[in-house]
Structure 1
Amino acid sequence: MITLHYLEDSRAQRILWLLEELKLDYKLVRYRRDDATGLAPASLKKIHGLGKSPVITDDGFTLAESGAIIDYLSQRYGAATLLPARDGHDWWQYVYWLHYAEGSLMPPLLMHYVFERVKRAPMPFFIKPLVGKIVAGVNRAFLDEQIRTHLNFVADHLSCHEWINGSQFTAADIQMSFPLETAMHNPALADSFPRLRAYVNALQARPAYRKALQAGGDYRYGPTN
């Protein structure tokens, strides 16, 4: 049986969703974030040296990294349902989006999240205005433009496609969900990119996604209705 080491409010939500899409039997091992730091607990390092989630074990094999896990599970258990045919350009489009999600789209979103945490971190009152100005300057000069460039790119692509790979829902849609949910969690971005908001709503309306939420519990980027 597949075991998913599931950290709350993390990319592990995608793997749980994928397991539900594939209708696989699995065991869920839950981990809570540290209350003080928000980081994964040290106990995860017993499963994988980096101590991060998601991690799966399957037949004694341990695998980390969302993209690798999604690729592994899809190719082993879902080739007939969640992957395009390998003999055409659709396959390489799938590979592109599978890697784009974490390789290009997520980094500026993650940097923005980290800078916002720095801005809100406890610090002497006389330093806080300076930190606020630095964060605002980085956002204005780099991150805001980068995030909107990527979101415009994805929105343009989805303007003529139902799913990220065309008319077929694939594992690449699952991989793309986390960065887009993160972005659409920002009301200003959600209002600016209605096609992305509609796409995320369609992902979150899938029955397997809803089952994953029931199994995993609270998820900060999940649907509000």
Structure 2
Amino acid sequence: MIKVHHLNNSRSQRILWLLEELGIDYEIVNYERDPVTRLAPATLKAVHPLGKSPVITDGDLVVAESGAIIEYIVHKYGNGRLLPATDLPTYIKYLQWMHFSEGSAMLPLLLALYVGKLGDAGAPLKPRITSEIDNHLRYLEAELGCNDYLLGAELTAADIQVSFVVEVADARNLLDDYVNLSRYAERIHSRPAYIRALERGGPYRLGA
């Protein structure tokens, strides 16, 4: 059985959502952030040397990194669900979204968080960071268009990977000018599997 090493208020919530969408049995091992530093506890390093979440174990196999975990689960347990056929052009778009989340979109959002703690010392960096965040959100907004999900009418694992970007932006009150993204967030959060994942994973409040 898959065991999810789940850190509160973290990327591991989307792994729980994925497992609920696929209806896969899994076990949760809970970890709590330090209330002062907001860092993961040192005990996570006993699971993986980086000491970060998400990380899963499946028997003797240990898998870290959200994208790798999602790919592993959908390819091993998905039976074709949440994944476009590899011979379709949409598969290339799927791969693009899988890498976009952490490869492009999350960097300026994280920089905004850390630079914001520098006060006036970080002021020279803020215009460029804000510009990059807006660039990525505009791209997402345009690509969604009238679609329910990133690849069209059906949810894929790419939506689960990108969801964290949208949720971080929402937590920073950045979605007010993005109608499609705001509706997308509402659509995701209303899915029964998403709600079940919250019930199992516990309180989920980014920025908390």
The TM-score bracket by the shorter chain reads over 0.9
| 8 Å Cα contact 2:147/2:153 also seen in 1 | yes
Cα drift, residue 165 of structure 1? 1.3
2:188 aligned with 1:198: no
Tell me the percent identity. 47
1:66 aligns to what? 66
Match of 1:154 in 2: 140
Give the one of 120, 142, 154 matched to 1:168.
154
Provide the alpha-carbon RMSD of the alignment.
1.3
Q: Which amino acid aligns with 1:61?
A: L
Per-residue Cα deviation, 1:124-163 (whole angstroms, up to 9, x for no partner): xxxxxxxx222232112x1000000110011000014221
Give the gaps of 5 or more residues in structure 2.
none
Structure 1: stretches of 5+ with no match in the other structure: 120-131
**Larger Rg: 1 or 2?**
1
Aligned length: 207
- Match for 2:155: what amino acid? F
Match runs of 1:41-190 below 5 Å:
41-116=41-116, 118-119=117-118, 132-140=119-127, 142-187=128-173, 189-190=174-175
Question: Matched residues in 2 for 1:9 and 1:107: separation?
Answer: 18
Q: Deviations over 1:174-204 (max 9, x none)?
A: 00000111001222x2211121111011011
The amino acid across from 1:174 in the alignment is I
- Stretch of structure 1 that moved more, 213-222 or 72-81: 213-222
Task: Give the aligned residue type for 2:189.
Answer: Q
> Are residue 210 (structure 1) and residue 195 (structure 2) matched?
yes
Q: Distance in 2 between matches of 1:110 and 1:221?
A: 12
TM, length-normalised to structure 1? 0.89
Tell whether the 8 Å contact from 2:112 to 2:126 is kept in structure 1 after alignment.
yes
